[in-house]
Structure 1
């Protein structure tokens, strides 16, 4: 299989999630000619607005954040070189569900979930929308979240459920042929934050004098992430960190230039943001590299 024959589908919850977790991977594969498709579950209308001049866009005020984040996502995809990006069911089909923080530092469902929220979407209805995309794109690899959505956000959890169910349904020859010819995705990965890498980055920040970013996070006891023994693959996108940073800057309402993400970049740079990790959820593990992990999501295909 040549690079230009390979197709990668990513299923995410909100604009900016794709860049933080998989931006270097997306930019690397897009540059190599791999077909990269992003599906975003909703427009992130409930997100916090970090730009003072745009605070009026907040859900509880003018409720214009969703439309603005569409623009941010388009700019981020330009930075990453990704030309095929879509909202599940179209922009606004599903609404951001919001979230609240639990006492253990993980996210959980909000007390008041808005009407039309993705969290309350009928699983089959949402999955059918993705089945149609899967059968159109016919990806060799799908990337989404684990069953916990990475850190507990209800929309991340729902994206995992939809992606998992749609992957199964899309492979059934007799299931709704009007949605396209059946396609069995060979490999599915869950995006992962490597605890060891994140801990090293936080320590580097603190050694450099930054004690406010990730305040309260204990590098030896991070609230979420994956242990090294659970990781199956790493994509080294170190050459594409600048593209990832440009995409993060495009998500200006969500990622502060003086916030912890960019502080981490300044102190740990490519070490943290250039290497992105994955857990294999479907398919066979391919050949591994010097890292002891697969170094290509298409390994073995």
Structure 2
């Protein structure tokens, strides 16, 4: 049996709360198993929507200050998950949330007006170098980030993908900027995913129960949005049944961003149970042993 304490997982996310939604159960599971878990958040989410009326003044278009508030939310969420190593790319405030707009086809796009120092317009080499330093310091065997579309098209998610993938290459190059640390090659890289079969089954259960509001506009046999991934492209399925409650508790700490009375928190198939399984696409490295469904059950499988 391998020594899990020798393993290190690095996750690169765009804004505070993204880490809980897609990877919170995974993070908590590996903390429990003694794996070193490092979270890098690329922006403070300064452009996010404020869902708490009493805090509406924090909005970017009002007095501002949402980024500092979300910094505190992230700290509290990480306490719940047990993650002690969480950082902002280049330091807090180095890269600004870029904002977004909605395309008529239902995915995010860049907004017409982008704030100064937006992550979306950051120099790729400059941003990647900040992550190279982290990779060479932490020396993870596994890296998790988004796919090339950032899941749903948000410019900061797309940029996080670009920065993570480029930094992984640069960090491994023996001749690249040795002042950033000793070269390190990451063995396995995964992109987060949402299972198509799981989504269709959940939608079917929701609609049969009479729930027409959760994931409104999406139907069990209809066209699904780009953040849904065909199962044949998915490599790993992490069982978070033992840690999903911590995931939801951590997500609730991002109180300006989520509605705790909404679908995310409603329980049963539309809530906690639905969020207990987290899926990933292996895009670099060799897959390890799989279960009966053909999924790795451990991101460190084969290492």
Taking structure 2 as the reference length, the TM-score comes to: 0.96
Q: Deviations over 1:178-226 (max 9, x none)?
A: 0000000000000001122122223322333321222112233211210
Post-superposition offset of 1:27: 0.3
1:239-295 deviation digits (Å, cap 9, x = unpaired): 1111011011101111111223223x4434454211100000110111112231111
| CA distance in structure 2 between the aligned counterparts of 1:143 and 1:131, rounded to whole angstroms | 15
Q: Secondary structure at the match of 2:274?
A: helix
**SS state at 2:243 partner:** helix
Map of 1:261 onto structure 2 = 264
Aligned to 1:237: 240
Task: Give yes or no for contact 1:149–1:157 (8 Å, CA) kept in 2.
Answer: yes
The root-mean-square deviation of aligned C-alpha atoms, in Å, is 1.1
Give, in whole Å, the separation in 2 of the partners of 1:42 and 1:127. Answer: 14
Given that residues 75 and 250 in structure 1 are in contact (C-alpha distance below 8 angstroms), is that contact kept between their aligned partners in structure 2? yes
**What is the distance in 2 between the residues matched to 1:254 and 1:269?**
17
Q: Which residue of 2 aligns with 1:219?
A: 220
Contact 1:208-1:267 within 8 A present in 2 as well: no
SS of aligned partner of 1:189: strand
Gaps of 5+ in 2: none
Q: Distance in 1 between matches of 2:205 and 2:109?
A: 30
1:138-149 → structure 2 map (5 Å cutoff): 138-149=139-150
TM, length-normalised to structure 1: 0.97
For residues 15-55 of structure 1, give each alpha carbon's deviation from its aligned partner in whole angstroms, at most 9, with x where no partner exists.
01010000000000001110000000000000011111111
Mapped to 2, the partners of 1:83 and 1:147 lie a distance apart of 28
Distance 2:220 2:161 in 1: 27
Q: Which residue of 1 aligns with 2:53?
A: 52
Question: Is 2:264–2:270's contact at 8 Å kept on the other side of the alignment?
Answer: no
SS at match of 1:234: strand
Q: In structure 2, how many angstroms separate the alpha carbons of the residues matched to 1:294 and 1:194?
A: 14
Q: What is the aligned length?
A: 300
In the alignment, the residues of structure 2 paired with residue 190 and residue 206 of structure 1 have an alpha-carbon distance, to the nearest angstrom, of 29
CA–CA distance in 1 between the matches of 2:206 and 2:77? 26
Provide structure 1 residue ranges, at least 5 long, that are not aligned to the other structure.
none
**1 CA distance for matches of 2:96 and 2:271?**
34
* Alignment correspondent of 2:65: 64
In 2, Cα distance between equivalents of 1:269 and 1:64: 30
Q: Helix, strand or coil for the counterpart of 1:239?
A: coil
